[in-house]
Amino acid sequence: MQGFPGGVPDPQQLQATMLAIEQACSLIQVHMNPAEAEKVLSSLHSSLMPYQACRFILETSLMPNARFQAAGAIGDAAIREWGILTDDNKRSLILYCLNYVMEHAGSPDGYVQSKVSAVAARLLKRGWLEFPDQEKGAIFFEVEQSIRGMHGPNRQFAGINFLETLVSEFSPSTASSMGLPKEFHDQCQLSLEVKFLKDFYCWAQAAVFNTADKILNSNVTIPEEKACSAALRLMLQILSWSFKPTLEHENLDAKIKSGLRSDAINLRKFERSLVKPGSLWTDILISSAHTIWVLNFYTTLRQKYSYDTLWGDSPIAVSCRQLIVQLCSLAGAVFPNDNGDAQIEHFMHILSAVILWIEPPNVIAESIRNGGSESEFIDSCHVLLSVASLTSSSLFDNLLKSIRQYGTINLLSALTSEAVKSVLDNQNEEETWGSDALDILLETWNVILGEACADKSPMSADGALAASNLFKIIVESHLKAAADSAFEDSDDAEYFHVSVSKRDEQLALYALIARAAADTTIPFLEQLFSERFARLSQRDVENDPTRTLEELYWLLLITSHVLTDSGEGETLLIPEALQVGFTNVVEVAQHPVVTLSWSIINFSRQCLDPGIRGRYFSPRLMEAVIWFLARWVATYLVPLDVSREIDSVGRHGSQHSRKLLNSFAWDNNQGELVLDFVALMSMVALTTYQGEIELQTLTCQKLLASVVRRKHTCAYVVQLGFCKWAFFIFIEWTFTEISSRNTCMCSFLHQRSRSICAVFERPHGTSRRMPSRKC
């Protein structure tokens, strides 16, 4: 090739170099003398002007690994020696790599072609700001011809693969290191986006169109299918591009009124960035009915291969579905200014096709359990999450009602139910599809119901009913799983702790679902808890209470999340959904939150009886009790005058419910009784359960911290039936006993003792010790 860098090659030297590289590759393959082999390979990569030797290896060697090393050496040397190469040298290297890829497009050693393609992309980017647009256009012209299928399916695939690599090279997150400043990469990225990226998408689109009929009409796998899959992946990759923001006018107010969100929201687990390519892309993405074509293409393929339960995991199926999921994230000026009608219609088309993948959910879930592919189920969950993140809860629910007799939230509820059942039915198996789906679906509920929801209007009656039914299924499924695990020996250490990060996160999302229909879910929890408590109260010595205790343990955890928030780093408040609900409740004794709270506190009081404590209250159950009490005290045991501040808060009709919840814990001197009980519970936890560090840590760092963080609660402790110094002595004794084992607890108690001293008006440092545990 004219202009190829390097002097006139010596045939014998070229042959010797190739043999040395092949021998080094062979030694690495058989794990013999790897250090010496690596040294030989490194010498090729670091040698001056190795281009002729590398070219000889690429064109002559029968060993794919040797050709792979030669391709990499060309790229490393060219980047290193870029400053001493002539413009003709640079162009020749790029064109040589591209020609090599095209000429060997049918080679079975695909990884070698991918490496050569990556070298071409890397060198093209290195010279991107140097080469005039005319030269770049000439290079891309040949690539376009191949992608459009002018030279057969193999070269078509090679051309698409090159563009995939090129887009990846120009993306900051996947770019190769070139030793150049960030500004260089930014300029390259912007230039490619403005001048070529849309053309690349059109070429890939044309490749899919041109191969679609052959694929649909063929009864066997044909090469065009590989090229079509690659083109779909390229389209997905381009839509995943981080487009530069454009200052284009959008009627945001009209979109918001129609139920569309204008900005991305922060998701807990799943990164979901909006695709905002701008109005220049409207013609190929929206006006051309591109999404509808992709959906119809997948639906037709799906029908063709309906007999094959594993077709959903084929490359063309996976790439097509992933493109559909990404199309759900289209937003911004790419849609016309029509009050959001085009975007809503866009979502409607996608949901109309996707629902065929998951309807009915119970049948699809059963098929997966019997060995079918779960890919469509998982991807449909991603679709729902994407749509939910761009719509209000009311619009999200209404999208499906135009084509079904139920709303989207009903579908979400049914899918979540199946995912929960799958997770709990397969806890001891490696099957993960249920867990993956549940994570996505719960995140969707979080978007609809949580703080991320900008739509503050209440959920529809149908949506609330769906949430209520789902929560009941969740609770019943978990109770059954808890009872079934009562006699199992779990090897999971986290199983024995009440507060585990992953489980807390899941329970908090369950709680959001419960609060969406609090008028039914909280009485349901109270009924379940009372039933289990009654079983223990029967004191039937012939029946083993272990199953019931496991159920009570789980009920304590979920109820704590429903009634309270974690409050990490902030003041705990009664959840807003509970404050504005129950507007029809007049008497405090009839308020479901009140009855549920006292039901659990009355159960917890049983541990003060030594006989009952010894039979029922294991350290693990005591941890759950202490953990519940800590969150409940911090949330509901508030100052007496809080209700005075409520008159100007909330919607009309909810003020009475707010006042009830913010004051019931102190009515009829119940606050003092609770504090009395908390002090006794703390002493029991610290004196009876010796060696239970987790329980004692919870008692001090959570429960006692909740009590002593406010002066009025400290003052009430002094006014209880204890002697004046009892509570202070108790704290000091706890500090002395535990300080040697838990430095964090030691620090906490030391700090709290100062504030308690101020309440008791006792000089800090005076000491009275409780008797030793041995006494």
Q: 3-state secondary structure string, 72-101?
A: HHHHHHHHHCHHHCCHHHHHHHHHHHHHHH
Can you tell me the mean pLDDT for 20-27?
Answer: 94
Is residue 111 a contact partner of residue 164, using CB atoms and an 8 Å limit? no
Can you tell me the mean pLDDT for 73-87?
Answer: 94
The closest of 361, 403, 232, 200 to 301, measured between CA atoms, is: 232
Is residue 383 a contact partner of residue 328, using CB atoms and an 8 Å limit? yes
The answer on pLDDT for 652 being more than 90 is no
SS3 (DSSP) at 260: strand
The closest of 715, 696, 713 to 761, measured between CA atoms, is: 715
Out of 355-359, 372-376, 534-538, least confident range: 534-538
- Side chain identity, residue 135: E
Query: Given CA atoms 351, 353, 356, 358 in this order, what sign does their dihedral have?
Result: negative
Is residue 188 a contact partner of residue 121, using CB atoms and an 8 Å limit? no
Q: What is the pLDDT of residues 89-117, one digit of tens each?
A: 999 999 999 999 999 998 999 999 999 99
- pLDDT score recorded for residue 8: 79
Q: Provide the pLDDT confidence category of residue 763 given band limits of 50, 70 and 90.
A: very low
Q: What is the pLDDT of residues 457-472, one digit of tens each?
A: 567 888 999 999 999 9
Can you tell me the mean pLDDT for 674-678?
Answer: 86
The answer on pLDDT for 740 being more than 50 is no
- pLDDT score recorded for residue 208: 96
Residue with more model confidence, 349 or 749:
349
The answer on pLDDT for 377 being more than 80 is yes
- pLDDT score recorded for residue 663: 77
Residues for the chain: how many in total?
A: 775
The answer on pLDDT for 756 being more than 50 is no
Q: Provide the pLDDT confidence category of residue 300 given band limits of 50, 70 and 90.
A: very high
Can you tell me the mean pLDDT for 168-175?
Answer: 91
- pLDDT score recorded for residue 774: 30
- Of the chain, the percentage scoring pLDDT greater than 70 comes to 83
- Side chain identity, residue 559: T
* DSSP class of 197: I
Both structure tokens of 382: 């991603």
Can you tell me the mean pLDDT for 183-198?
Answer: 95
| pLDDT, the chain, mean | 84
Out of 111-120, 419-428, 517-526, least confident range: 419-428
- pLDDT score recorded for residue 648: 46
The answer on pLDDT for 651 being more than 70 is no
Out of 315-329, 362-376, 582-596, 607-621, least confident range: 582-596
Q: What are phi and psi of 627, to 5 degrees?
A: -65, -45
The answer on pLDDT for 272 being more than 90 is no
Residue with more model confidence, 247 or 611:
611
- pLDDT score recorded for residue 183: 93
Q: What crossing angle do the helices spanning 64-80 and 110-126 adopt, rounded to 10°?
A: 10
Helix (H) or strand (E) holding 474: helix 461-484
Angle (CA) 652-658-662 rounded to 5° is 160
Can you tell me the mean pLDDT for 361-368?
Answer: 93
- pLDDT score recorded for residue 266: 59
Residue with more model confidence, 641 or 194:
194
How far apart are the C-alpha atoms of 752 and 280, rounded to whole Å?
63
The answer on pLDDT for 474 being more than 90 is yes
- pLDDT score recorded for residue 20: 95
- pLDDT score recorded for residue 745: 46
Q: Provide the pLDDT confidence category of residue 17 given band limits of 50, 70 and 90.
A: very high
Q: Which residue has the tokens 């509820």?
A: 413
Most confident of 497-506, 605-614, 717-726: 605-614
- pLDDT score recorded for residue 452: 46
Most confident of 134-138, 166-170, 563-567: 166-170
How far apart are the C-alpha atoms of 551 and 479, rounded to whole Å?
5
Can you tell me the mean pLDDT for 428-447?
Answer: 86
Quickly list DSSP for 374-409: -HHHHHHHHHHHHHHTTB-HHHHHHHGGGTSSS-HH
SS3 (DSSP) at 114: helix
Burial class (CB in 10 A: 0-12, 13-18, 19+), 603: buried
Can you tell me the mean pLDDT for 569-594?
Answer: 82
Q: Provide the pLDDT confidence category of residue 4 given band limits of 50, 70 and 90.
A: confident
- pLDDT score recorded for residue 570: 67
The answer on pLDDT for 762 being more than 70 is no
Residue with more model confidence, 591 or 525:
525
Both structure tokens of 459: 């959920």
Q: What is the pLDDT of residues 215-239, one digit of tens each?
A: 999 988 899 999 999 999 999 999 9
Out of 30-34, 128-132, 337-341, 691-695, least confident range: 30-34
Out of 282-291, 372-381, 670-679, least confident range: 670-679
Out of 193-197, 357-361, 632-636, least confident range: 632-636
- pLDDT score recorded for residue 646: 47
How far apart are the C-alpha atoms of 238 and 201, rounded to whole Å?
7
Q: What is the pLDDT of residues 685-731, one digit of tens each?
A: 888 888 888 888 888 888 888 887 777 777 766 665 443 434 544 45
- The partner residues of 391 in beta bridges, in order of sequence, read 260
* DSSP class of 771: P
Is residue 176 a contact partner of residue 169, using CB atoms and an 8 Å limit? yes
pTM for the whole structure: 0.87
The answer on pLDDT for 50 being more than 70 is yes
